């Protein structure tokens, strides 16, 4: 469905969101300067075919949702088998001075490393 703030400009009833149905919808409209889309493949193909000069912008809400789906906001990390209880201890025992350098250069990192035991 294509619409403005107060009325519907064009619509198409369909059972699939594919390039064919998007193209039939877009054929009812004049080419816009820019289209904001969720990145659905059928829509992208129809936009580039029907309106080759129209700029495409990804919807930032959908971009954020896609990123959060693949990169969680609450990661669960575990120490690999055979390592000491925390990443800080691993750094101290295997890399002399690493924790000292971290404390000097990245003081905010140390509490997070200690919490990953």
Domain, as residue range, for 103:
77-117
- Are residue 84 and residue 65 in the same domain, yes or no? no
Domain count along the chain = 2
Of 50-54, 86-90, 110-114, the range with the highest mean pLDDT is 50-54
Average pLDDT in the chain: 78
- Are residue 23 and residue 44 in the same domain, yes or no? yes
Of 6-10, 71-75, 91-95, 112-116, the range with the highest mean pLDDT is 6-10
- Are residue 95 and residue 55 in the same domain, yes or no? no
* pLDDT tens profile 64-98: 887 887 777 776 666 555 544 455 555 445 444 55
In the chain, the percentage of residues whose pLDDT exceeds 70 is 64
Per-position DSSP letters for 11-59, written without gaps between them: ----SS--HHHHHHHHTTSPPPSEEEE---HHHHHHHHHH-TT-EEEE-
- Are residue 117 and residue 99 in the same domain, yes or no? yes
- Are residue 56 and residue 19 in the same domain, yes or no? yes
Q: What is the pTM of this model?
A: 0.55
pLDDT of the residue at 68: 80
């Amino acid at each position: 469905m294509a619409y403005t703030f107060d009325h519907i400009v064009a619509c198409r009833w369909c059972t699939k969101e594919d390039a064919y149905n998007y193209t039939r919808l877009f054929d009812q409209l004049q080419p816009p300067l820019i289209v904001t889309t969720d990145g659905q493949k059928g829509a992208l193909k129809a936009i580039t075919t029907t309106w080759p000069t129209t700029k495409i912008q990804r919807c930032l809400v959908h971009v954020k949702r896609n990123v959060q789906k693949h990169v969680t906001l609450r990661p669960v990390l575990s120490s690999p088998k055979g390592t000491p209880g925390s990443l800080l201890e691993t750094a101290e025992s295997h890399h002399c001075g690493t924790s000292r350098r971290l404390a000097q250069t990245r003081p905010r990192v140390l509490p997070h490393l200690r919490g990953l035991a």
